Amino acid sequence: MKKQPPLAVKDIRSSLSLNLKLSDRVALRITNIFGSITFLIICAIIFLVWILWNTAIIPGALPFDKYPFPGLEMGVSIFAIILSVSVLISQNRIGRLEKTRQKVEFEVNFRAENEITKILQMLHEMQKKMGINTQDHELETMKENIDLQRLHEQIWDEEKNPDRED
């Protein structure tokens, strides 16, 4: 079996981007548009023109939404709902990406820990064969493999009792 080269960070990012659903791509596009300074300026200009038009400040413009501008108020309210939902969708997407990142990070850390433990065990065996005898309790502790079940239980206990000190 041919060994694949390790993934670069940009490859990992691009593979996460390839897994986007249509709804994720739409939400990302909406967030990018609504979250820009250009969009803010456009909205401010539209509101200003709307108000100036409907207060008869612009010569020759016939008001169609007299003060207190119920049409503008309704439009802004509907737009606020759409914007709020798009922000929530974006936050959900970011949350899913963060969970994925945490899982990948945990897996990498767990594998690295196992590899380091194996290296320590091999070094200790080499020390024994070379006749170097050390009584290092810290080394003995570091050579132990991680008990994933015990780790999960410790984390679970800490989440249930966050104020408890060990």
pLDDT tens sequence across 29-46 = 888 888 889 999 999 999
Backbone dihedral angles phi then psi of residue 140, each to the nearest 5 degrees: -60, -40
Predicted confidence at residue 147, as pLDDT, reads 76
pLDDT tens sequence across 117-130 = 889 888 888 888 88
pLDDT tens sequence across 109-160 = 888 988 988 898 888 888 888 888 777 777 777 777 777 777 777 778 777 7
Q: Is the pLDDT of residue 12 over 80?
A: no
Q: Please, are residues 144 and 117 in contact by the beta-carbon 8 Å criterion?
A: yes
CA distances from residue 27 to 41, 43, 80, 81, 86 in whole angstroms, order as listed: 21, 20, 15, 14, 6
To the question of pTM greater than 0.85 for the whole model, the response is no
Q: Please, are residues 119 and 150 in contact by the beta-carbon 8 Å criterion?
A: no
The rounded distance, in Å, linking the Cα atoms of 3 and 102 is 25
